[in-house]
Amino acid sequence: MLNFLFLGLAIVGEVVATSALKASQGFTQPVPSLIVVIGYGVAFFFLSLTLKVIPIGIAYATWSGAGVVLVALIGQLWFHQKLDLAAVIGIGFIIVGVLLINVVSKAGGH
């Protein structure tokens, strides 16, 4: 169960870092730039810990899929970026895929 906590922390780190990446304005803003570096450091550290238990394909699919969904939501809510119907449907497919991998599939190492 600890491996899923680590995976969750990796996802949070990646989402924070990616969100701050936009605010860093090409690494010209010091505080958001520092958040990017720390966030990705946290993300990769905890992702590496999950790989001791969770297969790499499953961990990466979950990490990246959840990250895409959360960053898209942050983009819409925080940065006022609009998602059209095709984007919403695509994000829905990503959510379904992550759920299938982690809830239904036996390949997830749980």
- Residue-level pLDDT at 105: 83
Q: Is 50 exposed, middle or buried (0-12, 13-18, 19+ CB in 10 A)?
A: buried
Report the distance separating Cα 32 and Cα 89, nearest Å.
Answer: 31
Q: Which residues contact 65 (CB under 8 A, 6 or more apart)?
A: 94, 95, 97, 98
Each residue's pLDDT, cut to its tens digit, for the chain (110 residues) gives: 899 999 999 999 999 999 999 899 999 999 999 999 999 999 999 999 999 999 999 999 999 999 999 999 999 999 999 999 999 999 999 999 999 998 888 775 55
- Residue-level pLDDT at 91: 96
This prediction has a pTM of 0.88
- Residue-level pLDDT at 1: 83
- Residue-level pLDDT at 110: 52
Report the distance separating Cα 84 and Cα 63, nearest Å.
Answer: 24
For the chain, the structural domain boundaries read 2-104
- Residue-level pLDDT at 66: 96
- Residue-level pLDDT at 108: 59
